[in-house]
Each structure stands twice: as C-alpha cells, then as structure tokens.
Amino acid sequence: MIQEKFMRKNEISGEELSQMFFAGAASLSNHASKVDALNVFPVPDGDTGTNMNLTMTSGISELKKQSSHHAGKVSQSLAKGLLMGARGNSGVILSQLFRGFSKAVAEDESVTAEKLALALSQGVTMAYEAVMKPVEGTILTVAKDAAVGAMQAVRQTNDIVQVMKIVLDTAEQSLARTPELLPILKEVGVVDSGGQGLVYIYTGFYQALLGNMPETSPHETMTPEQFQEDRAQIHLKTEDIEFGYCTEFIVKRNMAIPFHQGSFREKMSQFGDSLLVVADDEWVKIHIHSEHPGEVLNFGQKFGELIGIKIENMRDQHAHIVSEDLDKAGNSAEELSESPILPFGIVAVGMGDGISDILKSLGANQIVEGGQSMNPSTEDLIQAAQQLQAEHIIFLPNNKNIILAAEQAGKILGTPATVIPTRSIPQGMAALLAFQLEESAETNKQLMIDAISAVKSGQVTYAVRDTKLEQLDIREGDFLGLFEGEIIVSGQAAMEVGKELLSRMIDENTEIITILYGEGITETESEEFLNELQEAYPEIEIELHRGGQPLYAFIFSVE
C-alpha cells in the first residue's frame, strides 16, 4: 500500500519526467500486441501497436542520449526521436502530441501540475493541426478528452500525481466511448487501437509517478543502438569475424533449478563476445556472438525452456552488407557525376520486388519498402528523399496509413516537397503516369491528384480472425475482396474472391484492368486467372504482372 505522503507531488524534475517517459514506453511495449489485435478490419494490417511501439522506441533512444535533467530538454529529446521514428498514423499523431508537449515545457527546469495540463493540451492542438481531416473516436479524441480532464483537474489541485490520475481515468473513459463515435468500432465490437495505445502510455506515466517502474517484457526487440552496432562491423573484413554467429534467445526459467545471474554470465562469456544477459525472476534474455551457438543453447537449456531463438550467420550477413555498401557507393558516385540535380525526385512506397520494378519503370526514383502492416517511418522517407539530388520531392505513400508520415517527412525535409495522397499501388501508378517532367510542381500536383480519382483499386487478402461485417460472415483464413479499402466480398478461394470483386469494380466504361499477383500466387495460377477473366471480359484489355507483394494475393487496378 502506498502512503498518501509519497503520492503527493507539486512538481516533478526533468529526471522524474524522463522516468515517466521510460515507463510510458515500457507499458506500451508490453501491450503492443494487444493494441495490434484491436485493429478494426480483419485484414492483416493489425500494426497500430507495432507502429506506436517502434515510434516510442525511437523517442526513447533519443531520450537516452540526453544527459541533461532539464525538463524542457528531456521532452525535446523524446519529441525529436518520436518525430524521426514516426510510423503509421497513430505513430505520427503520437509524435505530434509530444511535440506540442515539449514546446510547452521548453523553458522549464521542472514541471508543475498546471504546466503538465497545459503541455498535454498543446500536444492535442498540434496533433489536430497535423491531421487534415481529424476523425473522432480515435487516439485524437482520447488525447483531447484527457487534456480537458487535466485542465479541469488543475483548478482543484496542484498535485501532479492526482492530475495524472485524472488524465488516465478520463483517457480510459474516453477510450470506452470510442465505439459510440466511430460506427465501425461498434460493429466489430472493439475500442480504438491508437487510443488504447495512448492509455497504456499514460498508465506508465501514472505508475512512474507512484514509483512503480513497469518492467519491459523479455520480448523487447533489438534496440536501434544494437542494430547499429552490428552495422558498424562494415569496417571489418568478413574473414576477421572471430565469432561467426549472432545468437539470441530467452530462457523461460525452470524454477526448480537455482539460477545466479553473475555466475551464469561468467560461464556464458566463455562462449564468445558481445554478451548481454538480462534477467528477471522468470526470464533470462541472452545475446551473444559465438562460434558454437549449439553449445550456448545447450548451456542455456539447463536452466529452463528456450524460446525466441534467433541465430544468424554474421559472416554471410557481413559479406552482404559490405557488397550492398559497395553497390551504394558505386551508384551514388555515378549519380553525382552524371546527373547533378533533378528538377523532381519521386519517392514511392511499395512492397514486393515486382511492384518496385513497376513503380520504377513508371518514373519513381526511390522506392521505400513498406505498405500494409509495414509502415515506413518519417525518417525512412526522409532518407530516401535525401538520396536524390532533386529540387523538389514528390512523395507517393500508396497507403492510407503512410500519408501522414509522408506529410511529416515533407515538412522536415528542407527541400520543397509535395505529398500526393495515394492510398493504393494502383493510385500510385496512375499518379506516376500523369506526372509531366516539364510542368511545374503545382501543375503536377493537380495532374497527379486528378489521375488518382480516375482509377479504381481492389485488393484480395485474407482474414486474420473471425468477424461479422454487415452481411458478410468472415472466418479466419478466408479470402477478402476489398474495393477502395472496404471489404465487399469474402470466400475460400483467392481466384473466386478476385473474380467476384472484379465483377463489382467493372462497369461499362472500364477499358483496362491491371492485375498484380502477390507472393502467394504462382505464375501458372495467375495465368489461369487471366485466361478466365479474358473469356469473361473480351472487350477489356487485361494486363498481368507479378507484384511479389506479401499479404495480398491480388491487387487490381481498374480504369
């Protein structure tokens, strides 16, 4: 039981604030998969939790670099990291909430309850500004209600713990109301996923104020620093690697066997280098570079069950990294000498080697890997744009969840940039075709936006869980036909669903259908599908291409 006197705080230091941020991130990280599961559609885009978590992780790693205990500086570091790592709509909104927050406390050494409420409110203002058409019943509403709660609370009390409690309570109540505001949530029977993510963050904040730092689960993904550490080995020669296998796993401890972290670590260190041992009561996470991963695992297994085993051959990886880097160096040197500055550089997002080739053939200069459930971050987009020597950058997000990140990238980039709000690969293709090199950025924006409306997009994917949606009774594993993002057909075979979906997309003005088949479909299957369609629609030109995209059996463009 926590005593009243410990719970009262009129002010928090920058150090305490940063503890709150760490705790918020940890709380979110521990529940990320739960947030993913709240996604409204049964299509495999359950990535809100993943996106928010990756965004937050980026914020935290920036925060770790900050040595100052000044509340303003601490917030600024978090905000900067969030901004650079922002992924998906919820991630971008999250970054804006804390950007506003950090601006409000920029000059403050420490934060009072009143300042906290003000900072939360400014965050909300900034987030609403960032979103073109704010939708209520989402993370925005939850953040707004919580901020309003905070503003009301500071009229009654100057206790920051009390205020944070009210923030958390109002956020939870607001979250519970989201199905009333967004009909689709009600239909599926869930609360908003982004809003839920925010509630987990606030939970962490409140717990930190109470002095309870949540533990991060052992499933924690590799931090960016660790990743960079690996990349740093580019400077080595492949044959110089002494311990060839990067080995990571978790021991779920058998409680009957005594475990002492110190001696465990010591014994482990004999197997190789770069050793990391993180343990709590039940779990031990191990990361080691070793020449004999088998022996490492055998040793670990003495203490319990092994899970999450990941072994990578670093010599092989390294050879790839080095050759990639050489390729890059070769390319950029060539680009620099051949073409000084392009009037336009087009950065398009797409998943699948076939799609990437098609986008390039239509004039995209850089392809950023990503799409449904793999949203690239603002930073990914910025990096791609910076690789182009162009006077003006055009972003084609090709997915509704990437539009905001692209807009964010456009603002930070420093080079004039236009975001064409393409929501699908077909829209991206149409926009690329409409692009005219000789025209101004303004004219091109108009041409490309006009072109989007002339193309219809369809997708065939599969259901990740059972759902009832209007007249459709969907079972996990069923194929789903989406028309402009809405599920309109379902069934057990991809081809059947594809045919039914197309029959709904086609009208008397249809002249050309483009089919991009995904990685789950064979060439033979796709050709069979094409033949059947050609028989059914002899008047329409039908083009078949391998897209190589994951998750989507087919992507259709109907014009």
Partner 1 sequence: MIKIVTDSTADIPKEVAEQWDIHILPLKVLIDGETYLDGVTITPSAFFEKLENASSFPSTSQPSPVEFAEKYQEILDKHGEDTQIISIHLSSALSGTYQSARLGANLLETKANIHVLDSKKAAYFLGMMVVEAAKAAKNGMSVDQCMELIHKMMKEQEEFFVLDTLTYLQKGGRIGKAQAIVGTLLNVKPILSLNEAGEVFPFEKVRGKKKAITRILDECKQYAGEEKVIASVLYGLNRPEAEELRDRLIEEFMIQEITLTEIGPVIGAHVGPQALGVLMYKP
Query: Which structure tokens are listed for 122?
Result: 């400014």
In the complex, what is the shortest distance from the CB of residue 339 to partner 1, in angstroms, rounded to a whole number?
9
Report how far Cα 30 is from the mean position of its chain's Cα atoms: 16
The β-bridge relationship of strands 283-290 and 272-279 is antiparallel
- Rounded to a whole number of angstroms, the minimum distance from the CB of residue 336 to partner 1 is 17
Of the candidates 135, 144, 252, 240, the one whose C-alpha atom is nearest the C-alpha of residue 198 is 144
Within 8 A by CB and 6+ apart from 306, the residues are 249, 250, 251, 252, 297, 300
Interface residues toward partner 1, by CB under 8 A: 357-358, 361-363, 429, 432-434, 436-438, 511-512, 514, 541, 543, 545, 559
Q: How far is the CB of 459 from partner 1 (least distance, A)?
A: 18
CA 384-316-353 angle, 5° bins: 40
Nearest distance, CB of residue 354 and partner 1, angstroms: 9
Distance CA 21, CA 554 (A): 42
Query: Minimum Å distance from CB 61 to partner 1?
Result: 39
We find the least distance from the C-beta atom of residue 371 to partner 1, in angstroms, to be: 19
CB atoms within 10 A of CB 72: 20
If the CB atoms of residues 324 and 541 are measured against partner 1, the closer one turns out to be: 541
Nearest to 169 by CA among 191, 202, 192, 211: 202
Q: Are 177 and 136 in contact (CB under 8 A)?
A: no
**Least Å distance between CB 458 and partner 1?**
16
**CB 311 within 8 Å of CB 247:** yes
List helix spans (H) across 38-87: 48-65, 71-85
Report, in Å, the least distance between residue 121 CB and partner 1. Answer: 48
Runs of H (alpha helix) within 462-514: 494-505
Tell the smallest beta-carbon distance from residue 363 to partner 1 (Å): 5
Identify which of residues 102 and 514 has a Cβ nearer to partner 1 in the complex.
514
Min. distance of Cβ 466 from partner 1 in angstroms? 38
Q: How many CB atoms lie within 10 A of CB 139?
A: 29
Which of 222, 342 has the CB closer to partner 1?
342
Q: Which is nearer to partner 1, 359 or 494 (CB)?
A: 359
From the list 209, 249, 261, 444, the residue with the least C-alpha distance to 345 is: 444
The H-or-E segment that residue 543 falls in is strand 541-546
Long-range contacts of 235-240 (CB under 8 A, 24+ apart): 236/318, 238/315, 238/318, 238/319, 238/322, 239/315
Please identify, using beta-carbon distances, which residue of 329 and 336 lies nearer to partner 1: 336
Residue 277 phi, psi dihedral angles, 5° rounding? -125, 120
Burial of 342 (0-12, 13-18, 19+ CB in 10 A): middle
Q: Which is nearer to partner 1, 117 or 358 (CB)?
A: 358
Nearer Cβ to partner 1 (19/398): 398
The answer to whether 124 and 100 have CB atoms below 8 angstroms apart is yes
Q: Which is nearer to partner 1, 325 or 541 (CB)?
A: 541
Number of residues that make up the chain: 559
Nearer to partner 1, 216 or 534 (CB): 534
CB of 511 to partner 1, least distance (A): 5
Which CB atom, from 144 or from 546, has the smaller least distance to partner 1?
A: 546
- Pick 306 or 433: Cβ nearer partner 1: 433
DSSP code at position 261: H
Residue among 106, 93, 104 at smallest CA distance from 142: 93
